[in-house]
Chain A
Amino acid sequence: MSLVFDIALVAGLIALALHVVVTRDGRGAILAFIAFGLLLGIGWARLASVDVALTETAIGGGLTGMLLLRAHAHLAREIAPEAMVRAEPRRWLAPAIACGLVTLALGAIVLAFPRPAPSLAHQAIASLETTGLGNPVTAVLLAYRAIDTLLEKIVLILALVGVWSLSRDAAWGGASQLRPAIIPEPLVFLARVLPPFGVLIAVYQVWVGADLPGGTFQAGTILAAMALLVMLAGLRPAPPTQARALRLMLAGGPALFVLVGFLGVAVAQGFLSYPEAIAKPLIVGIEAALTLSIAGTLALLVAGPPDRAPAP
């Protein structure tokens, strides 16, 4: 029975992906992609990867969808209707065959995976005690392979610098304009009522992430979504990107991470190794700082480059 369920899910995913490619309606494609993200979240839950399911639902179904919808609205404003891309006949046969070959090759690899599957689960469980954590995925992210997470945070900051640098010269250091021209009344209500729940769920995710599925990225994404909702409804303007407090918050998470890393050289076995006695409080502390900085970075990535000149 569960196999039937999986087959239905997979069929839905592929149908939605095909719809995204073939449909002419740009916004319909984005809505289909949001639905794709929701289904994919269920798929990850079926693969027993609840941590990934949480991340995919929050980012794939939430933030990416909003990013794309905003971009679509912007393009519709900027581009004259006659300059919109027409669906002219293109050569599609050769690319289709090539992409089909890629799929076939990848599928053959999937079917030819080694039979006793290699797994690092034993090692992950064996050293779990030294970290004081209960969730092996969090342990991998913040203890065993902490360097990956650190570098990922730096990639996020670099992407934000890249996005900001696409602003006009006059707007550098200013704020993004998120508020639409007309704000429907229910949106304001939503932006007043939903954020308290969102913050509660985010705190819960960080707290529970040490021992159960959940953690920093999921919580950061929820907080980012709530911040965007508030800015969207015009309850609070987007912060000017030159504000010192904002920049400190964004850099604070990775900076603390690097600091702890170098402390590890001094008091433990090396860079990013934690003294065993205080490993868990240290990890939870890093998580809290990272959550805020991830939330800020993600929200500003969606908000886009600043487009108002900063107040003098």
Chain B
Amino acid sequence: MSALALTSASLFGLCGAALVGIGLFCIVGHPDLLRRIVGFNILGAGIFLVFGAVARRGAAMGLGGDPVPQAMVITGIVVAFAATALAVALLRRLASLTGSASLDAAAPAPPPRSDA
């Protein structure tokens, strides 16, 4: 049973590693800023899963996992959500001001609104 739990934990750890790579690629490579925010969330999910593997391997004393990494992941999920909300607000403001959702210099720049 313990060998099986071990394998399952490292499986999710490896999945976390893959998700980190995919999320990073999305952040670096995608032209659409909203998609980059989604990529940031995938990256975060991957890191949390690696933590989850650590927690699962620390199962002892009748617990399913080590509670300390679990608590850190809960904190992390909430903070990542706050960061996402801030990024989305910045993006919406950018779109309202420039009429573009990317940082490429080629984007057309209409005259800024009077309310800006």
Contacts from A to B (Cβ < 8 Å): 2-3, 6-7, 10, 13-14, 17-18, 20-21, 26, 29-30, 33, 36, 40, 43-44, 46-52, 55-56, 59-60, 63-64, 67-68, 70-72, 74-75, 78-80, 83-85, 87-88, 90, 92, 95-96, 98-100, 102-104, 106-107, 109-111, 113, 117-122, 124-125, 136-137, 139-141, 144-145, 148-149, 152, 155-156, 159-160, 162-163, 166, 168-170, 217, 294, 298, 301-302, 304-305
Contacts and interface: CB of A to CB of B under 8 A. Distances in A.
A92 B12 contact: no
B42 A48 contact: no
Contact of B17 (A7, A107, A139, A170): A107
B18 A103 contact: yes
Given A20-B26, A79-B101, A302-B85, A49 B75 contact: no
Contact of B57 (A7, A80, A113): A113
Given A14-B19, A49-B70, A163 B55 contact: no
22 contacts: A2-B8, A17-B23, A18-B22, A36-B45, A46-B8, A64-B81, A64-B84, A68-B34, A83-B99, A85-B104, A95-B29, A111-B13, A119-B59, A122-B60, A136-B63, A140-B71, A155-B79, A159-B82, A159-B86, A163-B89, A166-B92, A305-B93
Contacts of B116: 168
A52 B64 CA distance: 12
A6 B85 CA distance: 31
Given A26-B34, A96-B25, A103-B18, A166 B90 contact: yes
Nearest to B44: A60
B17 A110 contact: yes
A6 B5 CA distance: 11
Interface residues of B, number: 86
B29 to A, nearest CB: 5
Residue with the highest number of chain A CB atoms closer than 10 Å, among B22, B78, B86, B107: B78
B89 A304 contact: yes
B71 A168 contact: no
A227 B58 CA distance: 38
Interface of B: 4, 7-26, 28-32, 34-35, 37-39, 41-42, 45, 48-50, 52-68, 70-75, 77-79, 81-86, 88-93, 95-96, 99-102, 104, 107-108, 115-116
Contacts, number: 289
